[in-house]
Amino acid sequence: MHLLRSLRQLNGLQGVRQAIRQVSSAPTKPAALQYERDPQPLFTDAETQRLLQSMTQLNLDKVYRKRTVPDNSSETKFMSNEQLDNEFQDLVVRAQHMLQMPPIVQIKKDVERVIAKDAALKDFANSKFVFTDITFGRRQSERKVIVRDTDGTLAYATLDTTKRMNQLYFPLEGRQSYTPRMFALEELLAKCLAEHKYEFILDRLLVQYEPHEPEFHNISARVFEHLNESKQFDLLRSTRHFGPMAFFYAWHRCIDDLLYDMIRRDYLHNAVELIALSYKLHNIPVEYQATLTELGKLHPTPAESALTELRSVFRRHDDKHNIEQEIHTAIGKKEPDFAADEISLKFIEQYIASEHALKKVQLELAVQTLKEVNREKLMLFQGLKKAHGVQAS
């Protein structure tokens, strides 16, 4: 048994060694699409963040979906209405925290910073000495790692060494010292992509690499490019990776597929936000603020809509608004939604007509279809309201 285990370990090590050997052909090779200047100021900008969060949406069922945990027990409680409402608010706050986007920052370059060159210490040993500050409670980024070279040079360690030492003394759960095979071997990553396991790859990427590392940029770019081809954007909706993905497309002027998906799924306000984001990133002189504020008034933020959905349990079934509610749920839209749709459609058509849109025919077709569906829905909505004698509010 023991022998078997050690054999297996050996095999595993061989795999790792092979993987390391194959790094040159691995997915970490520079991606075609790179951030040529620092995207961080534009990404962390409050408006951009708001747009991205709105595009991400907040589907509580997806955020709080069933996961494998060590302790799968459950707890049943009595709660008063106030307690329940507090819990609902807490739930939304926690969901927002879970949807916090990983930052998009520039790739950090290694800079040689020599502290001292003591020629007298040359050949004092035949290996380097690494000194790590392991003070308790210090952040990883501010932890000093210094290397004394065999030729007597005392210098700050490279980023790679710093990360290694950090991982050695303060291991991050899930981060491996070696490159995971998934990221080292091209065929394994390709397999993951082919199976559309985008969220899994991106989650693992976040654990393994820092956002300023080139591997992080290359692999995430690779995933986003694959997503753009497979058009499975819905897989990332309500996850923390949707924002960076939309930002990536907007930065590299390839939003049309995502836009088409949003129009097809009737997320028109998201489509407007995406167009606005691309205008903002590329400094295109189109006034989008007015449309956004107008839409903002008509549309609740994802957090608000999630909270109202949770609070709908308080609604009594024998209420007066019952019929009205039922009509809304059957059609899926309210009056403000129809109004918002008109504004967004105007903005989107303006974009399609401009020279920035690349897949004009496809987008126009989608918009036309949506318009027809919307018109029918509106007629049905009004007819139902009239039939039930509900006052137009």
Partner 1 sequence: MSQTLIRRLVNQAYSRNIFIYNQSLLSSNEPILPSYIGLRNTSFFNKLPAEDIWRGVTAVSNAGKKRGRGKGSGKKVAKDLNKGQSIGFGKCGRIWPGLNSPIIRGNELISQQKLNENLDRENGILKLRDSMGSFKLMKLNPIDRGWSGSKMPGRSIGPPDPVGDEEFVSFDTRVLENKIVFIMKGNMGRKRRYSVLSVTGNGNGLAGFATAKAPEVRTALRKSKNRAGQKLINISLCENRTIFHDFRTDFGKTKIFCFQKPDGYGLVCHRAIQTICKVIGIKDLYAKIEGSTNIQNIAKAFFIGLMTQRSYQHIANETNSNIVQQQNTRNRFIDVKGMPCLNSTPTHNTQEIDYMHFTLGNQIVLQRKATVPFYVYSKGHDLHQFKKERFRNQANVRLHKLVTVYD
**Residues forming the site for partner 1 (CB under 8 A):** 60, 64-69, 71-81, 84, 87-88, 91, 94, 98, 135-137, 310, 313, 316
Are 88 and 311 contacting, i.e. CB atoms less than 8 angstroms apart?
A: yes
CB of 338 to partner 1, least distance (A): 31
Which amino acid is located at 75 in the chain? E
Q: How far is the CB of 63 from partner 1 (least distance, A)?
A: 8
Whole-number Å distance between alpha carbons of 11 and 17: 10
Name the DSSP class of 299.
S
We find the least distance from the C-beta atom of residue 369 to partner 1, in angstroms, to be 36
Residue type, 52: L
- For partner 1, the closer of residues 319 and 326 by Cβ is 319
Closer to partner 1 by Cβ: residue 137 or 285: 137
Q: How far is the CB of 83 from partner 1 (least distance, A)?
A: 8
The rounded distance, in Å, linking the Cα atoms of 342 and 361 is 20
Cβ burial, residue 378 (10 Å; 0-12/13-18/19+) = middle
Nearer to partner 1, 94 or 321 (CB): 94
For residues 7 and 98, which CB has a smaller minimum distance to partner 1 in the complex?
98
Is residue 86 within 8 Å of residue 117, measured between CB atoms? no
The 3-state DSSP class for residue 156 equals strand
Say if residues 92 and 310 touch (Cβ distance below 8 Å): yes
Q: Which of 212, 281, 216, 279 is nearest to 45 (CA)?
A: 281
Question: What does the angle CA 269 – CA 56 – CA 96 come to, to the nearest 5 degrees?
Answer: 125
Cβ distance to partner 1 smaller for residue 2 or 77: 77
Provide DSSP, 233-295.
Answer: GGGTTTSTTHHHHHHHHHHTT--HHHHHHHHHTT-HHHHHHHHHHHHHHTT-----HHHHHHH
Our CB check for partner 1 shows the closer of 147 and 307 to be 307
Which residue has 């989107």 as its token pair? 348
Q: Taking the complex as a whole, how short is the minimal distance between the CB of residue 101 and partner 1, in angstroms?
A: 19
State the minimum distance, in angstroms, from the CB of residue 91 to partner 1. 6
Nearer to partner 1, 84 or 390 (CB): 84
